[in-house]
Structure 1
Amino acid sequence: MDLTKWLSERDNIGHRDDAADAGFTASHIRAAIRAGRVRRIRAKWIALGTAAPDLVTAATNGGVLTCVSLARRRGWWVPPDTDAGVHLHLPPHGSLQVDDVTAHWAKSLSPRRPRTLEASIEDALADAAQCFDLDQAVAIWESAMRAESTTLESLRSVRWRSAAARRCLEHVRPGAGSSLETLFHVRLSSWGVRMRMQVNLAGHDVDFLIGTHLVIQIDGWAYHSSSADRTRDIAHDAELRMRGYTVLRFSYAQVIYDWEHVERTLAAAISRGLHLAPALRNRARI
């Protein structure tokens, strides 16, 4: 096999020891570098010109992609408006060779794998816990759980070193259907009100039930993807109101960019007793 073809099957970048295992001799690799067909990155990495910039940055610095850089590659949720800079997990005494890198200097939770440019899931989550506010970090964790089919029990078995990671673990809930719901749940967890996720009412699940009668629906980007979906949601909302529930819907933009309005609305609803059964509300007014 040609070396360039071998690299093209490996994200256009590869470790020289892997190339040797595939049968490419050191002289073969040096010839490809001299001919300009392959680029040498430090001592152990070679790449094509089409290699992804984030992987090249990781190889250049002797680190591995972590935090939101790994999240992007693996399809986890990433907080909106996060800058596009590369996040690298680096050994405590490593060094940076380029700018525009967010460095996470830490000993790895798992054994270092010298032939990879991606951090372990556990290291990436630990770095995200240090890098983001609690609500966003937990949303990243829960998104990773869904994408990687990782269980809460598995995360609990990890020997997390930082207080930030242990705090994330305390807030992780496997039932969230989206990262938007995770943000909502974490932000309201300190309110001291009874709140349940994914509760079946009148034949359909609702995103949140506060108290016994305040229903919260979080409408993400995919909301109203069809007329049938919209019709079903309107009918379900009407049925819930007929049964004495109050239904509040919040959009993606409201949760992400106008959280103060969401908080004020929820506080007003709870102060009016809308989270209680109608009989209890009326009794409180007497």
Structure 2
Amino acid sequence: MDIETFLDGRGGVARTSALHGAGFSRTYIDKAVAAGRLARIRRGIYGMPRDAGAIGLALRHNALLTSLSAAPLYRLWTLHEAGAVHVSPGHKGTPAGTLTHGRLLHPAHPWLPVAGLADVLIHSLRCLPTLEALVMVQCAAQRGDVTVDFLRRKLAGNRNAPARSVLDRVIPRADSILEVLANDHFRRARLRVRRHVELPGVGEVDFLIEDCLVVETDGGTHLEPRQVKKDRKRNNATLIGGHLGLRFGYDDVVHHPERMVAQVLSVLEQCQRGAFGSR
């Protein structure tokens, strides 16, 4: 195993003792640094060059990454990359240019300069826009890393009411970040939505809206030739089975949700007017 593989499995950073324990000698480490494969973040701590920025800042200031800045290290869904670094500061004070969060209530990550997952999610619920926080919590909750009820108990009081309202929007299962967002947009449009419905001849569909319109959300894999053929067959089977169908991709769901919802409402309105004949 090379040092890059080892670090990838540890969030991109490790102490010298961990590197030695994995069999990497001082000479090997020095050569990796000289070759640009490894970055010395501070004395006794090394990381991948691409990961040395936020992690290095946290280590230099004895701070812990949290909220959106910690999401990649916990492999949580996110809508956007973190701009300013989110930290819970240590004894050296707040690093310049960072977004500061309050005290931690739970144990930190065992080896990375990162707040514990529960604190990361609590901070996200308090500081991030609704949908950004929602997808992070959805990812962690459906993996079984944390429960919504646990987070709700940690967010008591009037000042945490907006954060608790985000928890109300978490769904039992979502196969992709697009599904989370689309479901939220449809619900806010007061549409009657059923998710993961099994249709004869079609299989499981993402959404069945008002019992007549099938909506599928397509990630990047749906652009692969094999998947395109499969989706085409499913589209045909949807119509043959007596349902209308729409498909939306990443750009529709993430960047143009109002247009997506408007198209869904347009089809439903035409259906009510009988534009597609009797079902």
Alignment of 1:1-286 (within 5 A): 12-14=13-15, 46-48=44-46, 52-80=52-80, 82-90=81-89, 95-99=93-97, 101-104=98-101, 106-111=102-107, 116-146=112-142, 148-150=143-145, 152=147, 155=150, 158-161=153-156, 162-202=160-200, 203-227=202-226, 229-273=227-271
TM value normalised by structure 1: 0.72
Write the distance in 1 (CA, Å) between the matches of 2:241 and 2:111. 60
Given that 2:107 and 2:115 are in contact with CA atoms closer than 8 Å, whether structure 1 keeps it comes out as: no
Given that 1:136 and 1:183 are in contact with CA atoms closer than 8 Å, whether structure 2 keeps it comes out as: no
Write the distance in 2 (CA, Å) between the matches of 1:231 and 1:256. 25
Query: How far did 1:83 drift?
Result: 4.2
Write the distance in 2 (CA, Å) between the matches of 1:240 and 1:137. 34
Q: Percent identity?
A: 24
Given that 2:89 and 2:95 are in contact with CA atoms closer than 8 Å, whether structure 1 keeps it comes out as: no
RMSD: 3.5
Query: How has the CA–CA distance of structure 1 residues 226 and 272 changed in structure 2, closer, same or farther, with 3 Å as cutoff?
Result: same
Given that 1:87 and 1:103 are in contact with CA atoms closer than 8 Å, whether structure 2 keeps it comes out as: yes
Query: How far did 1:206 drift?
Result: 0.6
Query: How far did 1:271 drift?
Result: 2.2
Given that 1:139 and 1:179 are in contact with CA atoms closer than 8 Å, whether structure 2 keeps it comes out as: yes
User: Equivalent residue for 1:27?
Assistant: none
Given that 1:155 and 1:169 are in contact with CA atoms closer than 8 Å, whether structure 2 keeps it comes out as: no
User: Equivalent residue for 2:33?
Assistant: none
Write the distance in 1 (CA, Å) between the matches of 2:167 and 2:190. 19
Tell me the matched-pair count.
Answer: 246
Query: How far did 1:266 drift?
Result: 1.6
Query: How has the CA–CA distance of structure 1 residues 268 and 107 changed in structure 2, closer, same or farther, with 3 Å as cutoff?
Result: same
Given that 2:69 and 2:82 are in contact with CA atoms closer than 8 Å, whether structure 1 keeps it comes out as: no
Given that 1:55 and 1:65 are in contact with CA atoms closer than 8 Å, whether structure 2 keeps it comes out as: yes
Write the distance in 1 (CA, Å) between the matches of 2:113 and 2:192. 44
Q: Which amino acid aligns with 2:61?
A: N
Q: Which amino acid aligns with 2:178?
A: L
Secondary structure at the residue paired with 2:221? coil
Query: How far did 1:259 drift?
Result: 2.0
Query: How has the CA–CA distance of structure 1 residues 212 and 54 changed in structure 2, closer, same or farther, with 3 Å as cutoff?
Result: same
Write the distance in 2 (CA, Å) between the matches of 1:217 and 1:40. 45
Q: Which moved more, 1:114-123 or 1:213-222?
A: 114-123
Query: How has the CA–CA distance of structure 1 residues 90 and 281 changed in structure 2, closer, same or farther, with 3 Å as cutoff?
Result: farther
Write the distance in 2 (CA, Å) between the matches of 1:114 and 1:220. 34
Q: Which amino acid aligns with 2:99?
A: T
Q: Deviations over 1:148-183 (max 9, x none)?
A: 533646645742242233122111112111111101
Query: How has the CA–CA distance of structure 1 residues 70 and 218 changed in structure 2, closer, same or farther, with 3 Å as cutoff?
Result: same
Q: Which amino acid aligns with 1:190?
A: R
Query: How far did 1:111 drift?
Result: 4.7
Write the distance in 2 (CA, Å) between the matches of 1:218 and 1:164. 28
Secondary structure at the residue paired with 2:168? helix
Q: Which amino acid aligns with 2:155?
A: W
Query: How far did 1:241 drift?
Result: 0.8
Q: Which ranges in structure 1 are unaligned for 5 or more consecutive residues?
A: 1-6, 23-37
Q: Which moved more, 1:82-91 or 1:193-202?
A: 82-91
